[in-house]
Amino acid sequence: MLLPVLLSLLLAALLVLAVGREPQEVLEKIWQGAFRNTRSFAGVLNFWIPLTLASVGLFVTFRAGLWNIGIEGQILAGAIFASAGALTFDFPPELAPLQLLLQILLGVLGGMVWAGITGALKIWLGVNEIFGGMALNALAGVWGIYLISGPWYPEGGSAQQSRPFLENALYPPLSRDWPVGLLAIVMTAVAMVLVPLIMARTRWGLQLKATGSNPRSALLLGVPTTRVAMSAFLVCGALAGIAGSYRVMFTYGSFRPLVAGGIGFLGLLVVLLSTMKPLWIPLITFVFSAILAGSTRLRVSLQLDSSLAGVLQGTLVLVFILFQGLRQRLEARRGDQAGDVSQASASSQSGLTG
């Protein structure tokens, strides 16, 4: 685990040297940008929350063997539904928590509807979830653009966002120095602990795994695979919906058609990197969030090309994946030499799912 990290850091350092900067200086700026005070740390968390929620959701669909590319659309649909609540409701202060809850639930609903459609297309009409997901991503995007130029057009403004939400429609910040939504952190923490637990310990989790690794034999063994696949979509959609609600109800405080911002796609990368070990997910998302949020300072203070942070992150990912591939090959070779052992473990696994 440590070797690829060191190697990618080395590569990144060479890259920074190549553009004529001190690697130490770059690292220092990113660190300061992320962790110099509570406000900058809150900035890291504000990106970590939706990224982690989306990644945990994707972990579920991956486990069921589904490539949920439609996650972007699910985040956006969550944002649209939550925004509809934010622009409609105006509860008195004593009922503010109720309004907040309703809006979050709307966000959850939005994500689930979008994921549910993808699931239904896949299960009953045989549309591959990658194509269905892409189509629904685009549909959510077009809908979002329609909303800000039509029903949600801010009077006298420009058609790039809805009017700002009222205060009672926003996740309350922890404090002035900690501008981050506590409730969202709690929900994220619960999701990142509970989802892996459920997956490992419950019948549903095992059915999911069986469906993912071999749907045909799972079906023969009596696993209701369509229902299981659908439930995976719905759980992922719900988490994506919360992520979307946070983007509009905290980060931006108004609806914008691009709020999903590629967070879902980044989540796909996170889950691939985690090699399906869910406990790594919040850590990887944290590193990603810190690098990205911290690089804002890097860009302002060193006036570096905007793509550098992306290139750094890309290097990290690439080296990591390379190492994973290498390790798998090595393990496979070792496995050949010790065929008995791997056979034994395989049979014990099938016993588990059966």
Please give the residue ranges that form the binding site for another protein (CB under 8 A). 33, 39-40, 43, 47, 134, 137-138, 141-142, 144-145, 149-150, 153-154, 156-161, 163-164, 251-254, 256-263, 289, 292-293, 295-297, 299-301, 303, 306
Both structure tokens of 233: 């979509």
The nearer residue to another protein, 65 or 144, going by C-beta atoms, is 144
The nearer residue to another protein, 222 or 310, going by C-beta atoms, is 310
The nearer residue to another protein, 145 or 219, going by C-beta atoms, is 145
Least Å distance, CB 260 to another protein, is 8
Contact residues for 115 (Cβ-Cβ < 8 A; gap 6+):
68, 70, 74, 233, 234, 236, 237, 238, 240
Amino acid symbol at 42: A
Q: Which helix (H) or strand (E) holds 246?
A: helix 225-246
Q: Is residue 296 within 8 Å of 33, Cβ to Cβ?
A: yes
Least Å distance, CB 170 to another protein, is 12
Least Å distance, CB 151 to another protein, is 11
CA 48 vs CA 109, 185, 239, 254, 269: distances in Å: 22, 9, 14, 19, 14
The nearer residue to another protein, 99 or 254, going by C-beta atoms, is 254
Q: Is residue 83 within 8 Å of 162, Cβ to Cβ?
A: yes
Least Å distance, CB 297 to another protein, is 5
Least Å distance, CB 140 to another protein, is 9
Contact residues for 240 (Cβ-Cβ < 8 A; gap 6+):
53, 54, 57, 71, 74, 75, 78, 111, 114, 115, 264
The nearer residue to another protein, 4 or 33, going by C-beta atoms, is 33
